[in-house]
Amino acid sequence: MNASKLLVLLILAGPAALAGEFPKPRPPADPSGYGVHIQRTMTLLATSTPEERNKVRILFYGQSITVQNWWKLVEADLRQRFPNADLECTNLALGGFASQLLVRTAEYDLYPFYPDLLIFHVYGHHVRYEDIIRRTRERTTAEILIQTDHVTSETEDDWTKKMNYTFLPAYAKKYGCQLSRIRESWKQYLKENSLKPQQFLRDAVHLNEHGEALMAALVSQELVYRPDLPQDEWKGLVRDYAVGKDVKWEGDRLTLEFDGNRVVALAEPIGGGKCRVLIDGKKPSEFPELYHHARPSGTANIGWPAIKAIGHEKPLVIEEWTLTCTGFNDTADDFRFSIVGSKTGPDGEGTAKQRFVSKSGRVVIEPDDWVFAYDRKVSNKPMPDGFKVRWWTTALFRDQFEAPTLGDYAGHELATTLAQGLPNARHKLELIGKAALKAIRVCRPPVR
């Protein structure tokens, strides 16, 4: 059965259906722990109506297990259960990138994306794993569903036990995350049905179609709406200030003092208008924190991002960068390169084994962040001479807000990010002009 047929099966038979001859997982004996720490996301999904379609962004992040098709089955199940929600599901997982690598790529993948819900699984070093969880809670208001490992063998080594039964539960508790106990549920399912781990795998670790269906079923049963639970944990993290009620225009000026790192304008469906944006008396473009280097283009053979992280020492501008590599050695861990910015212009040359700071200070690359040698080792193919890497410096702000004039917008949110990535502290927003605004949304990450 191919993935598309399996997807149809799941949609028709429900999120817990499995392909072929295997039975559905039984409902949990005690579901009281399900959904406890993801209720902001689930409330947005469950309370969406045709007249008010809440925007919900879900990011799947991790490595090769997360790349597999089970995440599409989870998305299909959510769309079936919550058809009125404006759901955006994105997968930025990178096969082969353990936590030691993913902690670097998260800088341009995870935190700028700013999801409502992060569904996360990765192997690797436990300290780097915690770094990713902590930084997500420091820089975003995303709820996090942590998946423990699925079962690949009938025995467990000490590290597997420590990671799944000690470290991950501790991180979930410390940072208020939802712990999806995939491993325990997987074990129980195998035991109840007298099945072997390899019946759900296509190699030593990756899932076959039955494994993908089982993973989707176990994750989906965690994604439940629980209106019976208290809202204290999440209620204040994202707040909408209704224009005309919580905040008002005074002539051509609207002012809001807020606590957080992200502020979004929600427009009325008709009315238009535009206004200048000031934060703490400055244009958002004057905040260096509101720019970031986006994910660079891929390596020649595997297609991994060619650089794990790109830093800077001086303020950035919005532009495209082109980096040209020459003279690769056989292992691709040494080469020369030059870099050009579309606005900065020629910005210096360097070598792979030395820390690079461009002439402008707008690009910094650490020697350990090159991915070419990893590509060469895994693919067993050389890097082509003259290989180019491209990426953008992008902005998470607007100096001017212009309200749309769309008429019938079918209940969808008309959201414009005014600033994202501010210090998570007190700020003053001023809008000068006049625009048809429904509300101002403020996001305050829970960890300072």
Whether 403 and 377 share a structural domain: no
Closest CA to 415 of 396, 433, 438: 438
The two three-digit tokens of residue 179, written as one number: 């712990």
Answer whether residue 429 shows pLDDT above 80: yes
pLDDT of 28: 86
CA–CA dist 447, 237 (Å, integer)? 10
C-alpha count within 13 angstroms, C-beta hemisphere, residue 229: 19
Answer whether residue 17 shows pLDDT above 60: no
Whether 264 and 367 share a structural domain: no
pLDDT of 270: 81
Whether 166 and 21 share a structural domain: yes
Whether 408 and 428 share a structural domain: yes
Is residue 92 in a domain?
Answer: yes
**pLDDT digit string (tens) for 179-226?**
999 999 999 999 999 999 999 999 999 999 999 999 999 999 999 999
Residue 408: C-alpha distances to residues 55, 356, 396, 412, 425 (Å): 17, 51, 27, 10, 37
Whether 373 and 345 share a structural domain: yes
Answer whether residue 4 shows pLDDT above 80: no
**pLDDT digit string (tens) for 125-182?**
999 999 999 999 999 999 999 999 999 999 999 999 999 999 999 999 999 999 999 9
Whether 148 and 61 share a structural domain: yes
How many domains, in total, are found in the chain?
A: 3
Is residue 392 in a domain?
Answer: no
For residue 27, what is the domain's CATH number? 3.40.50.1110
Is residue 225 in a domain?
Answer: no
CA–CA dist 90, 71 (Å, integer)? 9
CA–CA dist 380, 156 (Å, integer)? 32
pLDDT of 196: 97
Is residue 60 in a domain?
Answer: yes
Task: Please compute the mean of the pLDDT values over residues 308-322 and round it to a whole number.
Answer: 98
- Residue given tokens 């749309």 in the structure block: 404
Answer whether residue 55 shows pLDDT above 60: yes
Task: Please compute the mean of the pLDDT values over residues 359-374 and round it to a whole number.
Answer: 98
pTM, to two decimals: 0.94
Answer whether residue 364 shows pLDDT above 70: yes
Whether 199 and 54 share a structural domain: yes
Answer whether residue 11 shows pLDDT above 90: no
Is residue 111 in a domain?
Answer: yes
Residue ending a domain, choose from 356, 385, 414: 385
Query: Across all residues in the chain, what is the average pLDDT?
Result: 94
Whether 152 and 244 share a structural domain: no
pLDDT of 63: 98
pLDDT of 411: 85
pLDDT of 8: 35
pLDDT of 367: 98
Whether 245 and 119 share a structural domain: no
Sign (positive or negative) of CA dihedral 79, 82, 86, 87: negative
Residue ending a domain, choose from 385, 413, 429: 385
- Residue given tokens 């470290």 in the structure block: 167
Supply the range of the domain harboring residue 423: 238-287+397-443
pLDDT of 19: 52
Is residue 331 in a domain?
Answer: yes
For residue 266, what is the domain's CATH number? 2.60.120.260
For the chain, percent of residues with pLDDT exceeding 90: 90
Is residue 293 in a domain?
Answer: no
Q: With beta carbons less than 8 A apart as the criterion, state whether 48 and 41 touch.
A: no
C-alpha count within 13 angstroms, C-beta hemisphere, residue 358: 25
Is residue 233 in a domain?
Answer: no
Whether 376 and 420 share a structural domain: no
Residue ending a domain, choose from 352, 385, 418: 385
Whether 271 and 323 share a structural domain: no
**pLDDT digit string (tens) for 228-287?**
999 999 999 999 999 999 999 999 999 999 999 999 999 998 888 999 999 999 999 999
Q: How much helix, strand and coil, in percent to the nearest 5, is found in the chain?
A: 30, 30, 40
Q: How confident is the model at residue 18 (pLDDT cuts 50, 70, 90)?
A: low
Whether 188 and 253 share a structural domain: no
